[in-house]
A and B are shown apart, each in its own frame.
Chain A
C-alpha cells in the first residue's frame, strides 16, 4: 500500500513532504508518549508517601552531661547530639578562620553554642563516624573520625581531612524549651 501510494504521489513537491511531515510528527508524539509512560515506573521507586511523611523526633537533652554525646534516630538515620565543653566551643570558633574544605562558621551550625546537632552520616560514602563514646577515636580535630576511608571532622562537625567532601549535615531542628529539641 505505502509503496503504491508513494509511487502515485511521487511527483516532486506536495505529496511527499506532507507524508514526511505526518510521519515525523506522529513518530515524535509517539516517542514522547512512550518516554512519558516510563515515568510512573521510575517514580514508583522514589520514597513512598508513608516514607515521606516527615516524622519528627523529640529529644530530652537534660540528662546529657557536658562533654557527652547521644545518638538518636530520625528518619532511620543517626543524629548526633553533643553537649560541647567550653574548650570544644572555643576551638570550633577559632577554627572558623582555619583552611576549611567546606567553609562554614560554627555560629551557622549550632543554634546554641553548647549544643551541636548533626547527622551522624559521613558525607563521603555514608558510614557512621566514631567519636560518640569517649572510648572511640575522635580524629585529629577532636570531633569525629570515620574509619571507613579516614575522614576527620572537627568539634563543629566540619570536614577537615580525608575524602569526605562536605561537613556533617545539620538537620532541621528547634528548641521547644530549654531541655527539649525537636528534630525534623
Chain B
C-alpha cells in the first residue's frame, strides 16, 4: 500500500531499488479478498502447490533418468529400486500428475458454477484454458518417458492423430517423431519438452495471477466488491485457510503415494515398450478419458469431413471452445446460486463429463459407442445451445445488494 514502509534497513534498501517487497506486500498480504469465499476457492492455491511439487520431484527424477530407448525403462526401474528415495520421488511425481488434474478440474468447474469467467474476468479465464492445454501436453509427454507399453502405444496413437490433417498430416507426424515411428528421437524431444513446458506453465500462472489481482476474485454470490466492508486482507485470513486446505490435500495425496501408488496407473506400463506388440486394450491416463471418448465418438463422416479428422477436431474443440464461454453465456447473474435453471444444467454437464470419462475407458463396442456419441453430443449442446439459450430464457433470482449484505442475511437464514 505504501512505498517502502519497511523498517528493516536491508529490506528497505532493496525495496527502494527493486520493489519486490512492496509487490509481495500488495499481492499476498494486503490484497483485498471477498470475505465470503468458500472452500471451492482453495483449489487455485492448491494447483500452485502441486505445480511446485511437480517441479521439485521432476528436477530430481531427471538427475537419474536416461532418455534413451535402450535405457529409459531400466533407468526408471533403477530409480524405483536403487536410487535413495527414488521410489518416493517417482510416486510423488506420478500421483502428483493425477492430483494436478483433479485439483484443476475442480477449479474449472468452480469457475463454471460461479460464473467466474464472465466480465471482467475473460482474460483470466482464457489464460486458464491455455494452462490446461499446457498441462495436458506436459502430462502426455511425461507419460512417454518411462517407456513402458502404454507409454509407447499411447504416444503412437496420439501422435498419429495428426495424420488426420489433410494433405500434410503424414509429414507432420514424421516431423513430430523425427523418424518413421515413435523411436529414440521422439523420446529425446519429449524429454526436452517435458522439462521445458512446466516452466511455461509457471509463466502462464504468473499472468493468470496478475489478471486475477487486476480484476480481483469473484465470490459465491457473484456480486462485485462494492467497498472495503466486502473484503478482508489476504493475510492472515486466506493464507491460513489456504494452508489448511494444503494440509487436507496432503492427507489425500499422500494416502495414494504411500498406500496405493499405482492406483491411477496401468499395469501394462511396467512392461517395457515393444514396438512389435500392441497391448490388447490401450487406454490413456484417466484425466484424458473424456476427451478420448469424444475422439472415438466420431465413427461416421461429418459432411465432407472424414470420421478420423472429425474426431480430432471435436477433441481439440471440446477444450478450446471453453475459451469463448464468456461470450456464450449472456446472463447478467454470475453465480449459479441465483440462476435456478442454469444450476441444474451445470450439474447435468458435470455428470455428462463423468459419463464421457467412463466411456473413454471402455472398449469400442456397443452399447458404449452409442452412449459415448450421445454424451459427446450433449457436451457440445451444453456449451453451444443450452448455455446461450438458458441465459436468455431464465429469470435470475434477485441479487443481493452487496457481499456484506448477503453474508449478514444468510447468517440469519
Contact = CB atoms under 8 A, between A and B. Distances in A.
Q: Do A and B bind each other?
A: yes
Given A150-B364, A163-B308, A128 B278 contact: yes
A124 B185 CA distance: 23
Interface string B262-300: 000000000000011110111000000000000010010
A86 to B, nearest CB: 29
Contact of A47 (B161, B174, B276, B307): B174
A47 B306 CA distance: 28
A47 B180 CA distance: 8
Interface stretch (A7-15, A59-67, A69-77, A89-97): A69-77
A31 interface: no
Nearest to A129: B278
A150 B57 CA distance: 39
A162 to B, nearest CB: 8
A78 B276 contact: yes
A46 B299 CA distance: 32
B308 A165 contact: yes
B180 A76 contact: yes
A127 B278 contact: yes
B189 A45 contact: yes
Contacts of A78: 275-276
A47 B156 CA distance: 16
Contacts of A165: 306-308
A123 to B, nearest CB: 9
B402 interface: no
A116 to B, nearest CB: 19
Interface residues of B, number: 31
A51 interface: yes
Contacts of A73: 276
Given A125-B161, A126-B156, A48 B185 contact: yes
A149 interface: yes
Contacts of A48: 178, 185
B218 interface: no
Contacts of B175: 42, 45-46
Contacts of B178: 45-48, 51
A147 interface: yes
Interface of A: 42, 45-48, 51, 71, 73, 75-78, 124-128, 147-150, 163, 165
20 contacts: A45-B176, A47-B174, A47-B177, A48-B178, A51-B180, A51-B183, A76-B181, A78-B276, A124-B160, A125-B156, A126-B156, A126-B157, A126-B159, A127-B156, A127-B282, A147-B280, A148-B157, A148-B278, A150-B364, A150-B365
